[in-house]
C-alpha cells in the first residue's frame, strides 16, 4: 500500500507549493473548498496529479515559472486532504482568487475549467463544494423565490403543478396557447416553454407571448385562479434576451404571472446572472439542458448535480431542474438528485462531503440558525433579511414524471416544496391536455388526503385513465 510520505517525497518543488496536508483550518473563511474524485493519468501518482490540478486551477502551469512572487504564492490552491482508497482529493481555493462582484463563471473557469482537459488525470469530477460565510456575502443568491410564487398563486403545502407544452416544437403560437389554456383550465398552475422554444418562424416570439397572455387571461377568468407562465428568454445575445424580457413585461402580464427561463448551460452563467440582476422581481428558472455531459453518474470527468445546483443558488436563480432521482426518464439517483434538491432548498443541508449552511454571517448566531433550520424550507427570516443568508432555491422536477409517479417522487423527496413540470405526463393522456391536468391535480389531491391513488381513481375518471395509460404504456421506446 503506497504511503502518504512516499507520495509527498515524490513531489517536485513546484508541486510541493500546491500541497499542504497539514493546512490548519480549511474552514477558516479564506477558502472555497472542493472535493474531487481523481484518477491520475499514466505517468503521475495521485498526489502529483492532484498538485498539478491545484496548480492549473489556481496560479500555476505545467512548469515552475520565474515570475512567481511571494504574494502570488499565497494565492496557490492547496491539496489539503487525500483519500487513497476512494481516490478523493480535497483542494482549498483562496477565494480572493475570484473576480470581485459576485461572478460565478469566473469560479467555474478555475475549478471545472482547464483541469477537465488535463493529460495528468484520467478521471476528475468535482463532487461537492463548500462556501464560507465570508464568501457568500459577495454573491447575489435568489431574490424572487418559490415562496413569492406560492403567495402569488395562493398555493401552499403542495407542489406547484406544472407542465411543459408538447410537442417540444412545431406548434404555431395559437396552438401553443391553446395547450396552455387547456392545462390551466384543467387545474394546473404553471406552464413552461420547452428548453428550445425561442423565435421560430412558425411560432414568432411576439405572437407566442401575445397568445399566451390571451390564454392566461381567459383561464384566470374561467378558473378564478392565478396562473404562471415561464418564458424561455435564452437568445443569441444579451440584447435579444433583454428584448424578450421587456416584451413579456410590457405585454400586460401582472408581476408574478411570468417567469424567465434560461438554458443556463448553453446560454451561460453571464446570461443567468444578468437576468438575476436586471429582474430581481421575477422568478428566474434555470433549465439545465446539456448538464448530462458533466453530471451523468457514469461520466468520469465533470461535476455533480449538487455542484451545479449549488452554483445556481449562489448565482441567485429562483429554481433549477434537479432531476427525478430515477423516478422519471432521466438518469439520476436519490444520492444525486435529492441531495441536490435539499442542498438548494434548505438553509442548512448535508452535501456529499460538506454540510453547507447558507449563512452570510461568520459564526451565525445559533438561535437564528436553529429557527431558520427548524422552519425547514420556508426560512421566514430570510424572506426579508436576506443580508443574513442566501435564500432558498426551488427544485424543479421534470423528466418523464406523470401523475402515477407523483407520490413516489414526493416520498423520495421528503417534502412538497418544489415545482413539478410534466410534459408527456399530461399531454399523453388519452382524453387530452385538460384531462391530463385534471389527472395531475387528482393525483396530488389523493396524495394530500393520503388516499391510495387507485382508490381515489374509482371516482375520478381522468386519473383512472391516466393510471391505465401510464401503467400500460412503455416509455416512448
Catalytic residue list: 166, 287
Each residue 400-429 as x (binds Mg ion by CB under 5 A) or -, in order, gives x-----------------------x-----
Of Mg ion, ligand CAP, none, which one sits near residue 334, judging by CB under 5 to 8 A according to partner kind?
none
Q: Is the Cβ–Cβ distance between 37 and 123 less than 8 Å?
A: yes
Residue 323 interface partner, choices Mg ion, ligand CAP, none, CB cut-off 5-8 Å depending on type = ligand CAP
Q: How far is the CB of 292 from Mg ion (least distance, A)?
A: 13
| Least Cβ distance, residue 398 to ligand CAP (angstroms) | 3
What does DSSP say about strands 88-94 and 31-40: parallel, antiparallel, or unpaired? Answer: antiparallel
CA–chain centroid gap for 271, Å, is 15
**Residues in binding contact with Mg ion, number by CB under 5 A:** 4
DSSP letters for 375-392: STTT-HHHHH-TTTBPPP
CB of 184 to ligand CAP, least distance (A): 17
Which residue is closest to Mg ion by CB? 424
Return the ∠ at Cα 395 (arms to 392 and 400), rounded to 5°.
Answer: 175
SS3 257: coil
Tell me which of ligand CAP, Mg ion, none is bound by residue 342, counting a contact when its beta carbon lies within the kind-specific cut-off of 5 to 8 angstroms.
none
Q: Which residues bind ligand CAP (CB under 6 A)?
A: 164, 166, 168, 194-195, 288, 321, 323, 329-330, 398-400, 422-425
Grid cell, residue 377, equals: 424550507
52 belongs to the binding site for Mg ion (CB under 5 A): no
Q: Which is nearer to ligand CAP, 89 or 308 (CB)?
A: 308
Rounded to the nearest whole angstrom, what is the least distance from the CB of residue 435 to Mg ion in the complex?
17
* Residue whose CB is less far from Mg ion, 234 or 424: 424
- Is the CB of 197 or the CB of 273 nearer to Mg ion? 197
196 part of the interface to Mg ion, by CB under 5 A: no
Provide CB contacts within 8 A for 292, sequence distance 6+.
299, 330, 331
| Residue pair 460/442 in contact by the 8 Å Cβ criterion | yes
Contact 200, 169 (CB under 8 A): yes
Q: Which three cell numbers stand for residue 469?
A: 395509460
The arrangement of strands across the sheet holding 301-303 comes to 78-83, 88-94, 31-40, 121-130, 301-303
Separation between Cα atoms, residue 214 and residue 231, nearest integer Å: 15
Measured from each CB, the residue nearest to ligand CAP is 423
* Closer residue to Mg ion, CB minimum distance, 400 or 461: 400
Phi, psi (rounded to 5 degrees) for 436: -60, -40
Measured from the CB of residue 321, what is the shortest distance to ligand CAP in angstroms?
3
7 or 261: CB nearest ligand CAP: 261
| Residue of 26, 50, 27 whose CA lies nearest to 37 | 50
Quick one: 123 exposed, middle or buried, by C-beta within 10 A (0-12, 13-18, 19+)?
Answer: middle
Kindly state the helix (H) or strand (E) to which residue 409 belongs, with its residue range.
helix 406-413
Nearer to Mg ion, 81 or 285 (CB): 285
Taking the complex as a whole, the smallest distance from the CB of residue 194 to ligand CAP amounts, in Å, to 5
Contacting residues toward Mg ion, per CB under 5 A: 194-195, 400, 424
Amino acid at each position: 500500500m503506497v504511503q502518504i510520505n512516499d507520495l509527498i517525497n515524490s513531489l517536485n518543488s513546484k508541486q510541493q507549493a500546491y500541497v499542504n496536508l497539514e493546512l490548519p483550518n480549511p474552514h477558516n473563511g479564506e477558502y472555497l473548498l472542493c472535493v474531487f474524485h481523481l484518477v491520475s493519468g499514466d505517468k503521475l501518482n495521485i498526489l502529483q496529479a492532484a498538485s498539478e490540478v491545484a496548480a492549473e486551477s489556481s496560479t500555476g502551469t505545467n512548469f515552475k515559472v520565474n515570475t512567481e512572487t511571494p504574494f502570488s504564492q499565497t494565492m496557490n490552491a492547496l491539496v489539503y486532504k487525500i483519500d487513497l482508497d476512494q481516490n478523493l482529493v480535497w483542494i482549498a481555493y483562496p477565494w480572493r482568487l475570484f473576480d470581485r462582484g459576485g461572478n460565478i463563471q469566473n469560479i467555474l473557469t478555475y475549478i471545472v475549467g482547464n483541469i477537465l482537459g488535463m493529460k495528468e488525470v484520467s478521471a476528475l469530477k468535482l463532487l461537492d463544494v463548500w462556501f464560507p460565510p465570508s464568501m457568500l456575502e459577495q454573491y447575489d443568491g435568489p431574490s424572487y423565490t418559490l415562496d413569492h410564487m406560492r403567495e402569488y398563486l395562493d398555493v401552499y403545502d403542495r407542489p406547484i403543478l406544472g407542465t411543459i407544452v408538447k410537442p417540444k416544437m412545431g406548434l404555431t403560437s395559437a396552438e401553443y396557447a391553446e395547450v396552455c389554456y387547456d392545462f390551466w383550465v384543467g387545474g394546473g398552475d404553471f406552464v413552461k416553454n420547452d428548453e428550445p422554444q425561442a423565435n421560430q418562424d412558425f411560432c414568432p416570439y411576439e405572437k407566442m407571448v401575445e397568445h399566451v397572455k390571451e390564454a392566461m387571461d381567459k383561464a384566470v377568468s374561467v378558473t378564478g385562479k392565478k396562473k404562471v407562465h415561464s418564458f424561455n428568454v435564452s437568445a443569441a445575445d444579451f440584447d435579444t434576451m433583454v428584448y424578450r424580457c421587456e416584451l413579456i413585461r410590457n405585454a400586460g402580464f401582472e408581476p408574478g404571472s411570468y417567469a424567465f427561463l434560461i438554458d443556463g448551460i448553453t446560454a451561460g452563467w453571464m446570461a443567468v446572472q444578468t437576468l438575476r440582476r436586471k429582474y430581481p422581481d421575477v422568478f428566474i428558472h434555470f433549465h439545465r439542458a446539456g448538464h448530462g455531459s458533466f453530471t451523468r453518474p457514469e461520466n468520469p470527468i465533470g461535476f455533480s448535480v449538487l455542484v451545479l445546483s449549488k452554483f445556481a443558488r449562489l448565482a441567485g436563480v429562483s429554481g433549477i431542474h434537479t432531476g427525478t432521482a430515477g423516478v422519471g426518464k432521466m438518469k439520476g439517483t436519490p444520492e444525486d438528485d435529492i441531495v441536490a434538491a435539499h442542498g438548494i432548498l434548505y438553509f442548512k443541508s448535508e452535501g456529499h462531503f460538506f454540510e453547507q449552511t447558507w449563512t452570510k454571517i461568520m459564526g451565525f448566531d445559533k438561535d437564528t440558525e436553529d429557527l431558520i433550520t427548524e422552519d425547514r424550507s420556508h426560512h421566514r427570516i430570510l424572506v426579508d433579511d436576506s443580508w443574513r443568508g442566501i435564500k432558498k432555491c426551488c427544485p424543479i422536477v421534470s423528466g418523464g414524471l406523470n401523475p402515477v409517479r407523483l407520490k413516489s417522487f414526493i416520498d423520495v423527496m421528503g417534502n412538497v416544496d418544489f415545482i413539478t413540470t410534466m410534459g408527456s405526463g399530461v399531454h399523453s393522456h388519452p382524453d387530452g391536455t385538460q384531462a391530463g391536468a385534471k389527472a395531475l391535480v387528482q393525483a396530488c389531491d389523493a396524495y394530500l388526503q393520503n388516499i391510495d391513488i387507485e382508490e381515489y381513481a374509482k371516482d375520478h375518471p381522468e386519473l383512472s385513465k391516466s393510471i391505465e395509460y401510464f401503467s400500460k404504456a412503455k416509455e416512448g421506446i
